[in-house]
Amino acid sequence: MENIYEPKFVKITEIKQQSPTVKSFRLEPTGFFNFDKNDDGSVFYPGQFLLVGNVGWGESAFGIMSAPHEDKSIEIMVRAAGRVTNYLHSLKEGDKITIRGPYGNGFPIDFYRGRDVVMVTGGCGIPPIAALIEYIINHRSEYGKVYLLYGAKSPEEVLIKDKLEEWRQHDINVIVTIDKAVPGWTGHVGFVTDLIKEIHIDKKNVGVAMCGPGPMMNAIEKIIRPLGIADRNIFVNMERKMQCGVGKCQHCTCGDKYVCMDGPVFNFDEIDKAWDQ
């Protein structure tokens, strides 16, 4: 019998300091396994997550941020906030850690195909959105206008700055905003919710992708709904406590849904009705 709880070892091949509290880790399989491939050749779907950690330290759920078609390695982003994340921050390139997954459903890439896509995220919510953008860039002609609205506390907290520039070259409208004005910042100031006037989309043919903490939900009220986009076309990547990742332990349940199995991506219609927020 296959053991659904058995983690696999990966090697950290690259660590980047993304902000004072956030590091990104590039992981490569070790030993005899390769990342399993989906039908389309990708090693995961954008929006799926991994349980990363080590025996003795525990596991935590992280959205994957690298391009899904990169099959030799994958990348995650970690903010030091607890036992597992601080442990990960203490590691060096070459160290081995464990992963399980990828788990979950991911963003509905087929639904987005042929539509304009608006992505809204803030702070550490960028990884699954980054994977989605990489996927879209790899199939750029199949998607319409793409907007990324990205909010951060301060310029230092803007993650993956190099990627943001690179995406702009691929016809992705990247709009970054910081909470408070600081000297030297020439971009937007204010919450992502103030960016509505920047968006010019086909309201009847649009999909939304979101990931981020609770306040991001305000963005739905202030940007997405006023744009005239239906709740069913808004997809949110949710965060919940996770222990098993395979629908047994009950920690991530919300109403009749398991965030680990039915999610982590849900349309807002599902979330709005019965969820503990």
Partner 1 sequence: MLVINENKIADFLKALEKEYKVYDNRQHPPYGGLTAKKYFFPPVEETFVSEKKGSLKTTKFAEKFVVFGLSIPQLEALTYLDEIMTKPAEDFFYWQRRGNSIVVGLIKEEPDALPGGDIVFVDLGDGNFKILKNTEKGEELIKKYKSYFAEVADAPSKVTDPGMSEWSKTMRDILLDAELLANAVEWSKNHKIWEEMATTCLGCGVCTYVCPICHCFSVEDKIDLTGKCSRCRKWDACTLPDFAKIAGGHDFRPTIKERYYNWFYHKFVRGYKEYGKPQCVGCGHCKKYCPASIDILEILKTILGDYKKSQIQI
Residues near partner 1 (CB under 8 A) are: 1-7, 9, 53-60, 81-82, 85, 96, 98, 213-214, 239-241, 243-244, 246-251, 253-256, 261, 276-277
My answer on whether omega of the bond before 102 falls inside 30° of 0, hence cis, is yes
Q: Which two tokens stand for residue 88?
A: 């990960």
Answer for the pair 85, 97: CB distance below 8 angstroms, yes or no: no
CB of 175 to partner 1, least distance (A): 25
- Single-letter code of the amino acid located at 134: E
- Please identify, using beta-carbon distances, which residue of 98 and 138 lies nearer to partner 1: 98
What minimum distance in Å lies between the beta carbon of 271 and partner 1?
Answer: 12
User: Exposure of 134 by Cβ count < 10 A (0-12 exposed, 13-18 middle, 19+ buried)?
Assistant: buried
Least CB distance from residue 203 to partner 1, whole Å? 32
Q: What are phi and psi of 230, to 5 degrees?
A: -70, 150
Residue 51 or residue 223: which is nearer to partner 1 going by CB? 51
Output the smallest distance, CB 142 to partner 1, in A: 31
Considering the complex, state which of residue 41 and residue 55 has its C-beta at the smaller distance from partner 1: 55
Please name the residues in contact with 274: beta carbons below 8 A apart, sequence gap of 6 or more.
Answer: 254, 255, 256
Contact 223, 190 (CB under 8 A): no
**Toward partner 1, which CB reaches closer, 82 or 187?**
82
Considering the complex, what minimum distance in angstroms separates the CB of residue 12 from partner 1? 12
Nearer to partner 1, 80 or 227 (CB): 80
